[in-house]
């Protein structure tokens, strides 16, 4: 079987490509290299001993994307490609709506034209907006996200839902990721943001190796046990394995399915700091500062549905992910070159 993976050189995409290759799938990666590096391709080959087909293509470029569909017969597609920085999306809403929506619409049009009937979409817990209660279940209302990035995920979920209704022979899975963290245990691949990390774990890792002085904790007065934000941190390898389980599920022709992919456990910022120090022996100094706009107090998943229907469970805990993230950061102090 051959799987088309858009954004396959990114943090989650590359881990998923590794799982696919290890399980014997043939893989075609499409990546525009906006937020990823070509060196990841070589590292995937080093880790798996196999090299996926690769096309440096922007999924918004219909004609270029169409050419990829001429290169092979695909049995399924996994769509990771998209802009994903929450803060940046507030500053550049049009770029986010255009890139994320057009790339997804192009993909679906080409899948229909070439008879590729299985799709996994990389969605996000942000589609739930500000949770009314936690843990979140898939039937909770998809509200208004607190930023354009999250709104694009809500819109694409709606587009895919309407498309599947009109094309019932298509099988589409919407995977709502909570907070992906960690790295490949080899330390060759991991979260490698450009510039100052927005996300918690890469920032902690840079403090841990001495690249930054201290962690800025955004808010210590939330209605949570220790006052800091609570999230569901899931190891990126667990997340990748969730995609493999979902691919198998699509073989049952389920139509449209939605799953939360998380650990089902909430971890506060200060608990994450302690876990990191315990797992690595590194020191992570921090200062508690004002809240970050757009943040919610708590956001973690109920994963019963994925556990039962996908026969998938997160195997790693936050300490495991901290250990792998630290290993990656030490081996790549200035990121992947």
State the virtual CA torsion across 242, 155, 62, 52 in degrees, nearest 10: -10
Q: How far is the CB of 111 from ligand WQD (least distance, A)?
A: 23
Taking CB under 6 A as the binding criterion, the range among 24-32, 72-80, 209-217, 306-314 that sits at the site for ligand WQD is: 209-217
Under rule CB under 6 A, residue 203 binds ligand WQD: yes
Instruction: Tell which one of 199, 274, 302, 307 touches ligand WQD (CB under 6 A).
Output: 199
Cβ neighbors of 166 (< 8 A, separation 6 or more) are none
Determine the Cα–Cα distance for residues 140 and 89; give it in Å rounded to an integer.
Answer: 24
The residue nearest ligand WQD at its CB is 229
Cβ neighbors of 174 (< 8 A, separation 6 or more) are 121, 123, 157, 160, 256, 257, 258, 259
Pick between residue 6 and residue 179 the one whose CB is nearest to ligand WQD: 179
Under rule CB under 6 A, residue 271 binds ligand WQD: no
Taking CB under 6 A as the binding criterion, the range among 97-105, 110-118, 195-203, 276-284 that sits at the site for ligand WQD is: 195-203
Pick between residue 96 and residue 312 the one whose CB is nearest to ligand WQD: 96
Q: Which two tokens stand for residue 201?
A: 């774990």
Q: How far is the CB of 252 from ligand WQD (least distance, A)?
A: 28
Task: Count CA atoms closer than 13 A to 254's CA, side-chain side.
Answer: 18
Site for ligand WQD in 30-69 (CB under 6 A): none
- Which residues are the active-site residues? 149
Taking CB under 6 A as the binding criterion, the range among 26-34, 46-54, 215-223, 311-319 that sits at the site for ligand WQD is: 215-223
State the virtual CA torsion across 147, 89, 108, 192 in degrees, nearest 10: -110
Q: How far is the CB of 215 from ligand WQD (least distance, A)?
A: 6
Q: Which two tokens stand for residue 203?
A: 């920032």
Taking CB under 6 A as the binding criterion, the range among 23-31, 53-61, 192-200, 246-254 that sits at the site for ligand WQD is: 192-200
Q: How far is the CB of 149 from ligand WQD (least distance, A)?
A: 7
Q: Tell me whether strands 230-231 and 267-268 are parallel, antiparallel or unpaired.
A: antiparallel
Determine the Cα–Cα distance for residues 132 and 143; give it in Å rounded to an integer.
Answer: 10
Q: Which two tokens stand for residue 263?
A: 């650990």
CB-CB contact of 324 with 247 (8 Å): no
Q: How far is the CB of 178 from ligand WQD (least distance, A)?
A: 8
Site for ligand WQD in 67-106 (CB under 6 A): 84, 86
Under rule CB under 6 A, residue 126 binds ligand WQD: yes
Residue 113, Ramachandran bin (φ over 0: left; ψ between -120 and 50: alpha; else beta): alpha
Pick between residue 74 and residue 202 the one whose CB is nearest to ligand WQD: 202
Q: How far is the CB of 200 from ligand WQD (least distance, A)?
A: 4
Strand partners, 131: none
Determine the Cα–Cα distance for residues 224 and 151; give it in Å rounded to an integer.
Answer: 26
Under rule CB under 6 A, residue 295 binds ligand WQD: yes
Closest by alpha carbon to 43, among 84, 77, 9, 66? 9
Residues that bind ligand WQD (CB under 6 A): 84, 86, 124, 126, 179, 198-200, 203, 215-218, 229, 231, 269, 292, 295
């Amino acid at each position: 079987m051959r799987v088309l993976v858009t954004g396959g050189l990114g943090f989650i995409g590359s881990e998923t490509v590794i799982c696919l290759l290890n399980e014997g799938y043939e893989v075609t990666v499409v990546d525009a290299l906006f937020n990823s590096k070509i060196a990841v391709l070589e590292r995937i080959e080093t880790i798996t001993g196999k090299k996926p087909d690769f096309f440096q293509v922007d999924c918004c470029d219909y004609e270029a994307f169409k050419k990829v569909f001429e290169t092979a017969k695909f049995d399924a597609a996994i769509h990771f490609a998209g802009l994903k920085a929450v803060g940046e999306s507030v500053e550049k809403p049009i770029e986010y709506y255009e890139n994320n929506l057009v790339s997804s619409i192009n993909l679906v049009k080409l899948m229909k034209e070439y008879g590729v009937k299985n799709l996994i979409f990389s969605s996000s817990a942000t589609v739930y907006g500000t949770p009314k209660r936690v843990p979140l279940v898939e039937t909770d209302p998809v509200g208004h996200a607190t930023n354009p990035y999250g709104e694009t995920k809500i819109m694409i979920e709606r587009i895919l839902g309407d498309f599947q209704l009109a094309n019932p022979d298509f099988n589409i899975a919407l995977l709502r990721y909570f907070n992906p963290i960690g790295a490949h245990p080899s330390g060759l691949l991991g979260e490698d943001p450009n510039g100052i990390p927005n996300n918690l774990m890469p920032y902690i890792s840079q403090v841990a190796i001495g690249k930054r002085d201290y962690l800025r904790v955004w808010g210590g007065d939330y209605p949570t046990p220790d006052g800091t934000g609570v999230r569901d941190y899931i190891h990126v390898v667990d997340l990748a394995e969730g995609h493999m389980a979902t691919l198998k599920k699509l073989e049952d022709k389920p139509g449209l399915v939605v799953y939360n992919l998380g650990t089902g456990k909430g971890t506060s910022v200060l608990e994450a700091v302690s876990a990191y120090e315990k797992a690595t022996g590194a020191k992570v100094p921090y200062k508690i500062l004002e809240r970050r706009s757009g943040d919610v107090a708590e956001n973690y998943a109920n994963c019963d549905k994925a556990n039962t229907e996908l026969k998938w469970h997160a195997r790693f805990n936050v300490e495991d992910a901290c250990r792998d993230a630290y290993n990656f950061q030490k081996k790549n102090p200035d990121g992947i070159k």
